[in-house]
Amino acid sequence: MIDTPDDLLLLEAEHLARDLLLNVEETQGAVAALVNSWAPAIQAASDYFAPQAVTPCSQVLEIGRGLRRDASDWIGKGGTDPRLSRIRELLNDGAAASEATRRVPQRQNAVLQTIYVTTHAVAGAIDRYGVTLRKDESTRAQGQLVAALSSRIRGAEQILDAQLSARPRARLAGDPTQALATAIAVWDGAIHDALVDTTPDPRVLLVSANVSIGLLRHTADIASAAAADGQMDAFTVHSRLLPTLGPATESWERTRDTWRALAPATTGLPHPVATAAHALHRALYAPPPDPWPETSVALRLAIMATVEEAQLHVGATRRTDLQGKASGVSALTQAVFDHVPGARSLALWRQLERLDGPAPISIPAQVRTQMMHQAIGTLEASALAASASHGLIQGGARKAQPQREMRPPMTRERPRAGMGRRP
C-alpha cells in the first residue's frame, strides 16, 4: 500500500535492486563499478535509521570498509553503477523524512530488503567474474582473490538476512538482546579502526582472537541449553551447529596462541578496542531474559562477526610490516623448522634482526606463509560455523514439538489362508 511520497521512493529503490539482480554485466569494468557503488548505498541505508548510533547496517558498513583496498587491488579501477547510485539517492531522500515517518516497521523492512537484494546481486556478479578469471591459467590466481572478496560480501548478505529475521522485535529500546547486537556492532567498528589500513598490532589481534573464542563458546552453551529446554530442535544443534562451532573455536585458539607469542608484554592497547571488548563481554554474559527466537538472531550476528574478524586476521598476516617480539618470532621460526621439510636454513635465521629484547622485529617470509595458512584455516572454519548458524533462526522460530505416544494400530486377525494371505 502506497501512503506517502516516501513510499514511492522506497518502491523505486526496490525495483532498481530487482533490476540489478536480473540484469548485470560480468566484465571487469562493470564489476568494479558495482563494488565502488555498493558501500555508499549501504551507508545511505544506514542513514535511514538515524538517529540510531548502531543500525542494522553497521556490521555491513565495516565489511565494506575492510575490503575497500582489496577490491581496488584485485578487481581494478572502475566508475560507478548508475542503478546503485540511484538507489543511494533515493535512500538519501527517504532519510530526509521525519523520524516518525522512518520508524514505521514496513518502511524500515523495505530499506533492508532493498539493500539485501542489492548485496546479493553484487556478490553474484563478483562470483561469476571470479569464475571467468579462474578459467584462464594466466588469471587463475587473481580469480582466487576475487572469490575471497566475494565471500566477504556474501557474509554481509548473511548479516542482512539475519537482520530481516530480527524485525521488528529485536529493535526495541532497552532490549537485552538489542544490547548484545549493539555491543557486537560497536566491537566490529573498533576492531576495524584498529586493523584496517594500519600496521597490525599483535596485541589487538590477540584480543580479537579472545573475543571470537568467547562468542563461539557462548553460542554453543546457549544453543545447547535451548535444545535441552525444548526451545530449539536438538537435531539442528547437535548434528549441524555444534560440529562446526567446535572446530572453529579450536582454530581460533591456535590463532590466539600465535598472537600471544608475538604480542609484547606491555600496555598500550587502543582504548576503543579495550572498551568495546569489555562492553561486549558484559553484554554476552548477561542473563538471557529474552525468548529464544530473539536471542538466536543476536547469536547468529555474533558468529558472523567472527568471520569478518578472521578476514581481518588474514589481511594483517599478509602485510609485510607485521612485527612481533623477538622471542616469539624466534619460537615461530623454530616451529617452521620442525614442521616444514626443507625449511631449515641459515638464510632464514639471517632475516631475524635479533633473538631477544622488548622491541618488535620483522617476521621472516617463511614464517608468515605458515601463519597465513593458519589464518585461512580459521577463516574457513568460521565461515562453516556462520553457514550452520542459519539453523539458529530456522530451529528457533518454533519450539520443539512434544513427541506423541505411539501405539500399535488396531488390526484385525489375518486369515490363515486364501486371498488375504501375503507371501
Are residues 49 and 92 part of one domain? yes
Tens digits of per-residue pLDDT, 63-103?
A: 888 787 778 777 888 889 999 999 999 999 999 988 888 98
Are residues 197 and 155 part of one domain? no
Question: Which CATH number is 78's domain given?
Answer: 1.20.1260
* Cα–chain center distance at 146: 17
* Predicted confidence (pLDDT) at residue 4 exceeds the cutoff of 80: no
For 269, the 3-state DSSP assignment is coil
Which residue shows C-alpha cell 546457549? 222
- As a whole number of Å, the end-to-end CA separation of the chain is 64
Are residues 141 and 41 part of one domain? yes
Residue 389 — very low, low, confident or very high, per pLDDT cuts 50/70/90?
confident
Residue 405 lies in a domain: no
Could you count the other beta carbons within 10 Å of the beta carbon of residue 293?
Answer: 21
Are residues 29 and 120 part of one domain? yes
Structural domain ending residue among the three candidates 124, 150, 167 = 167
* Predicted confidence (pLDDT) at residue 235 exceeds the cutoff of 90: no
Cα angle at 191 between 190 and 194, to 5 degrees? Answer: 90
Distance (Å, rounded) from C-alpha 344 to C-alpha 365? 13
Cell numbers placing 365:
617470509
Tens digits of per-residue pLDDT, 136-158?
A: 888 888 888 888 888 889 889 98
Residue 307 lies in a domain: yes
Cell numbers placing 334:
623454530
Across the range 282-309, mean pLDDT stands at 77
Are residues 201 and 59 part of one domain? no
Residue 419 lies in a domain: no
Are residues 177 and 123 part of one domain? no
Residue 188 lies in a domain: yes
Residue 37 lies in a domain: yes
For residue 138, give the DSSP letter. Answer: G
Are residues 68 and 155 part of one domain? yes
Across the range 283-311, mean pLDDT stands at 77
Hey, which residues does 361 pair with through a beta bridge? 324
Cα angle at 156 between 152 and 160, to 5 degrees? Answer: 165
Structural domain ending residue among the three candidates 146, 167, 188 = 167
* Predicted confidence (pLDDT) at residue 423 exceeds the cutoff of 60: no
Radius of gyration of the chain from its Cα atoms, rounded to whole angstroms = 25
Distance (Å, rounded) from C-alpha 113 to C-alpha 9? 14
Distance (Å, rounded) from C-alpha 307 to C-alpha 378? 9
Across the range 24-50, mean pLDDT stands at 91
Amino acid making up residue 181: A
Residue 159 lies in a domain: yes
- pLDDT attached to residue 255: 95
Q: How far is CA 164 from CA 71, 103, 263, 297, in A?
A: 27, 15, 39, 10
Instruction: Write out the residue range of the structural domain in which residue 244 sits.
Output: 173-399
- pLDDT attached to residue 290: 53
- pLDDT attached to residue 301: 83
Are residues 269 and 123 part of one domain? no
Residue 113 lies in a domain: yes
- pLDDT attached to residue 2: 52
Higher pLDDT, 311 or 66: 311
Are residues 149 and 238 part of one domain? no
Cβ partners under 8 Å of residue 194, min gap 6:
201, 204, 270, 272, 273
Across the range 326-350, mean pLDDT stands at 69
Number of domains in the chain: 2
pTM to 2 decimal places: 0.77
Are residues 163 and 178 part of one domain? no
Cell numbers placing 321:
610490516
Percent of the chain with pLDDT over 70: 82
**Burial status of residue 173 (CB atoms within 10 A of its CB: 0-12, 13-18, 19 or more):** exposed
Residue 152 lies in a domain: yes
- The phi and psi torsions of 136 (rounded to 5 degrees) equal -105, 130
For residue 270, give the DSSP letter. Answer: -
Structural domain ending residue among the three candidates 118, 149, 167 = 167
Are residues 137 and 66 part of one domain? yes
- Segment among 19-28, 209-218, 339-348 with least mean pLDDT: 339-348
Residue 250 — very low, low, confident or very high, per pLDDT cuts 50/70/90?
very high
Are residues 119 and 70 part of one domain? yes
Cell numbers placing 339:
614442521
